[in-house]
């Protein structure tokens, strides 16, 4: 008897390289290996153990409203209005979901028809192209060296959306008002959506203000903003993200939410709503610290003649392999094998990024990060 075949869609998808490498690290650590982990896309904060004592068991163990626990929506909407300078209606313009990754996927599903094109500037977060394919679309990649003015030359009659990552994973770059306004002008001129991935909106240098994409689209006619509470609060395993869009798009995306997950995890959402201010007070200083570490590590890399693409935010650096003869996949594999140092191959961030590796500084103390950077410099020298 023949076995039914799987969907051909899956043959066109690849494993997320960051997840694949980190799975290998988890397996190595399970055997007792000491790995300097500079591959994890998260920050490790000192956060108190959550207590659910005193919370209403009649609520937390059951479904919530599919758009999210009302109190959490209110807290998030108030904070988001600060980023954009625009009011956010917690009842109709925000939807809480299970991580910003799902938020982006549902946004793409909501706007794409079969064969629609989505412009994605490189370096691109690893899941963008495959999520576009999963939504029946065609990813159109813009080489990293062409800059943020380049998307205009990639627009065709089939173009439906532009993905904007700000602050940027993997470079740590922030988009300014001129660049964001230019993208919005393109969106208006060509009737496009801007899907703004703002998962790292709070990982900025101290004293800097984040500029949200929807600031330039007051009616949110063409802008869908995707944010991550779990990433910004050092609880990425909790998988809590949210979307901000106009009332009609939230209603449409909420249909997807209802059929995919029903609602975000109620117990976690209730805890975050009740402890929102405490968590912000606890994590904001730690965010400042990790961004400072990120920028000190950029200086350390430069001191070893390792160039990074420009950026000053997040906890990522996108470092050039310089004169190494290895491609990024082989370099990361050898670095892990020889030095027990984990980074992510740049090829996962686009076809023009194979001469880079992504370095994350959120999971290790500074002394171990310096050892990791020394190992990277040694590997580049040894593989010239």
CA distances from 197 to 11, 277, 325, 370 (A): 26, 24, 34, 30
The more confidently predicted of residues 162 and 31 is 162
3-state SS class at 187: helix
Q: Band of the pLDDT at 148, cuts 50, 70, 90?
A: confident
* 3-class DSSP assignment, residue 194: strand
Q: Are strands 94-97 and 241-244 parallel, antiparallel or unpaired?
A: antiparallel
Specify the pTM: 0.94
- Return contacts of 295-303, CB within 8 angstroms, 24+ apart: 295/205, 296/366, 297/359, 297/361, 297/369, 297/373, 300/370, 300/373, 301/359, 301/373, 301/376
Span 110-124, average pLDDT: 97
Q: Across residues 7-33, what is the average pLDDT?
A: 81
Mean pLDDT of 356-362: 97
CB count within 10 Å of CB 6 equals 8
CA gap 15, 276 in Å, rounded: 34
Closest C-alpha among 117, 122, 132, 129 to residue 168: 122
pLDDT of residue 17: 74
Residue 1 pLDDT: 63
Query: Is the C-alpha dihedral spanning 99, 102, 108, 111 positive or negative?
Result: negative
Q: Is 149 or 112 the better-scoring residue by pLDDT? A: 112
């Amino acid at each position: 008897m023949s076995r039914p075949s799987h969907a051909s869609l899956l043959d066109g998808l690849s494993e997320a390289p960051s997840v694949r490498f980190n799975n290998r690290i988890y397996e190595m650590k399970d055997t007792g290996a000491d790995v300097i982990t500079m591959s994890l896309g998260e920050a490790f904060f000192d956060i108190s153990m959550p207590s659910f004592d005193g919370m209403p068991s009649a609520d937390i163990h059951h479904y919530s409203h599919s758009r999210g626990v009302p109190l959490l929506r209110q807290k998030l909407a108030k904070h988001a209005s600060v980023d954009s300078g625009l009011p956010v209606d917690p009842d109709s313009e925000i939807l809480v979901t299970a991580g910003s990754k799902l938020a982006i996927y549902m946004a793409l599903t909501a706007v794409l028809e079969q064969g629609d094109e989505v412009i994605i500037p490189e370096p691109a977060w690893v899941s963008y192209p495959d999520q576009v394919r999963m939504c029946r679309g065609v990813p159109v990649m813009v080489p990293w060296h062409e800059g943020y003015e380049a998307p205009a030359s990639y627009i065709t009659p089939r173009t439906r959306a532009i993905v904007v990552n700000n602050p940027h994973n993997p470079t740590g770059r922030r988009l300014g008002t001129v660049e964001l306004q230019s993208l919005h002008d393109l969106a208006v001129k060509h009737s496009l959506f801007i899907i703004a991935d703002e998962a790292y909106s709070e990982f900025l240098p101290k004293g800097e203000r984040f500029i949200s994409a929807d600031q330039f689209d007051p009616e949110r006619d063409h802008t869908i903003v995707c944010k991550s509470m779990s990433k910004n609060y050092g609880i990425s395993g909790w998988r809590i993200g949210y979307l901000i869009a106009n009332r009609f798009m939230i209603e449409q995306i909420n249909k997807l939410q209802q059929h995919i997950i029903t609602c975000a995890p109620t117990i976690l959402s209730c805890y975050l709503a009740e402890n929102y201010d405490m968590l912000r007070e606890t994590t904001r200083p730690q965010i400042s610290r990790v961004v400072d570490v990120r920028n000190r590590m950029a200086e350390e890399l430069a001191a070893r003649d390792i160039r990074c693409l420009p950026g000053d935010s997040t906890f990522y650096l996108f470092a050039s392999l310089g004169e190494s003869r290895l491609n990024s996949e082989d370099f990361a594999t050898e670095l892990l094998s020889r030095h027990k140092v984990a980074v992510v191959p740049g090829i996962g961030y686009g076809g023009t990024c194979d001469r880079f590796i992504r370095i994350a500084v959120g999971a290790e103390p500074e002394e171990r990060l310096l050892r990791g950077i020394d190992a990277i410099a040694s590997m580049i020298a040894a593989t010239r």
